[in-house]
Amino acid sequence: MSERDQQSAAEASTLAAPRAAGAQPRFSLERLSSAFARLMGATSAAARHAQASPQVAVVAEEAMVDDVALPVTPRMIVEGMLFVGDAQGRPLTARQIASHIRDVTPAEVDELVAQLNETYRTDGAAYEIVAQGGGYQMRLRSDLAGVRERFRGRIRTARLTPQAIEVLSIVAYRPGVTVEELNRLRSAQSYAILSQLVRRELVRAERPKESPRVARYYTTARFNQLFGVSSPAELPRAEELADA
């Protein structure tokens, strides 16, 4: 667990710690939201670190799979480097690729690329290696560009405001909360934010049969998937959500 995850878990655990009889509630919405935001940011921070790292394959003599040594061929390395690509999205030249492979020349890289493309065509792969800008790039086949365009713009990175994180953290740690309870905990109107979270499929509303006019809010399967848990119960607990 990273230092950031440990800090988040510690804060959430502090919020969940039982209090002695007569003691004041420990619930702090600001602290809970802060810890929850760090939990949300852990994955994206790791992704940013990976993007900032050099995107160049490291040549190894052999790979170990199930304790069996398998030789890494120049062709495998060429394919791997082109699959990962350059961090800035620039084509990789044959000279750049060859410089990372022992005893392979740029001309041999050209031959390996041709072999890979022939294999892709034979297998009906959805991708190909193209010569562009003095180098090579792996991309979706040109005849499948229409499929890509249909999806373009439909997938957006989910960015949540501090207010949305605040609402989401309460729903996660207090499943079944109502709008009125959220408003009271936050001292602010919460319905518009809840509607946004419902549209993003992070929160769902249920109306119990005994009181169908009052909607209660819960996190969703998509929420669990994004946070890598099977249920909110696996999150660092903060069960003491009494009014501050």
Share of the chain above pLDDT 90, in %: 22
Tokens 């929420």 locate to 223
Show the CA angle centred on residue 93, arms to residues 89 and 96, nearest 5°: 100
| Cβ atoms of residues 8 and 35 within 8 Å | yes
The 10 Å Cβ neighbour count of residue 68 is: 8
What pLDDT digit, counting tens, does each position of 77-99 carry?
999 889 888 877 889 999 999 99
Please report which helix (H) or strand (E) contains residue 11, including its range.
helix 3-16
Please report which helix (H) or strand (E) contains residue 177, including its range.
strand 177-178
Q: 41 pLDDT band (50/70/90 cuts)?
A: low
Q: What is the pLDDT of residue 148?
A: 62
Domains, the chain, with CATH or none: 3-49+159-234 (1.10.10.10), 79-151 (1.10.10.10)
pLDDT over 60 (residue 24) = no
What pLDDT digit, counting tens, does each position of 177-216 carry?
999 999 888 888 888 999 889 988 899 999 888 888 889 9
Lowest mean pLDDT, pick from 79-88, 167-176, 229-238? 229-238
Inter-CA distances, 160 with 157, 204, 226, Å:
10, 17, 13
Q: What is the pLDDT of residue 104?
A: 92
What pLDDT digit, counting tens, does each position of 112-164 carry?
999 999 998 998 888 899 998 889 998 888 777 666 665 555 445 557 788 88
| Cβ atoms of residues 203 and 226 within 8 Å | no
